Each structure stands twice: as C-alpha cells, then as structure tokens.
Amino acid sequence: MGLKTIWKDYKVLIVMIPSLGLVHWGWFYIKSSPIFQVKTEDFDQLSDGITGLENSNFKTTVKIS
C-alpha cells in the first residue's frame, strides 16, 4: 500500500481530523481570551434587573385570534 493509495482511500480522514482538532483548539483559545470574559459586576447587575422583573406587577397579555 503506497502513499498514493492511502491518500486516495483516506483523503477525508486525513483532511477532517486535523481540521476538527484545529477548530476545537481555536474555539478553546477564543473562549479563554480575556476579551470575551463576562465581568462579574455586569452579571450581577443583570441578575438584579431580572429578579426585579419577577417581583414586579408586570403582566403580559397574549391575544389569540
């Protein structure tokens, strides 16, 4: 089995496995970047706003025609 036969028979695997590995590594790198990290102060303010809505008399109406 020569190199040409291996490339012909396993072309998809040879291309896709390294591609998937690089995509997952890139996604991990992007997620761990400090630019994309949510600050806890912003998250706390958002959660306070959500709990404020739950305790209010805010009602929604849905009209079904």
Asked if the structure places residue 4 within a domain, the reply is yes
Asked if the structure places residue 26 within a domain, the reply is yes
Asked if the structure places residue 20 within a domain, the reply is yes
- Percent of the chain past pLDDT 70, that is, above it, reads 58
Domain limits for position 12: 1-33
Asked if the structure places residue 50 within a domain, the reply is no
Number of domains in the chain: 1
Asked if the structure places residue 16 within a domain, the reply is yes
Which residue in 57, 58, 40, 60 sits closest to 48, CA to CA?
40
pLDDT the model gives residue 60: 61
Does the pTM surpass 0.85? The reply is no
Asked if the structure places residue 9 within a domain, the reply is yes
What average pLDDT does range 36-60 have in this prediction?
60
- Reduced to 3 states, what is the DSSP secondary structure of residue 8? helix
pLDDT the model gives residue 35: 85
Asked if the structure places residue 29 within a domain, the reply is yes
Q: What is the mean pLDDT of the chain?
A: 78
**Model confidence at 47: pLDDT above 80:** no
Asked if the structure places residue 6 within a domain, the reply is yes
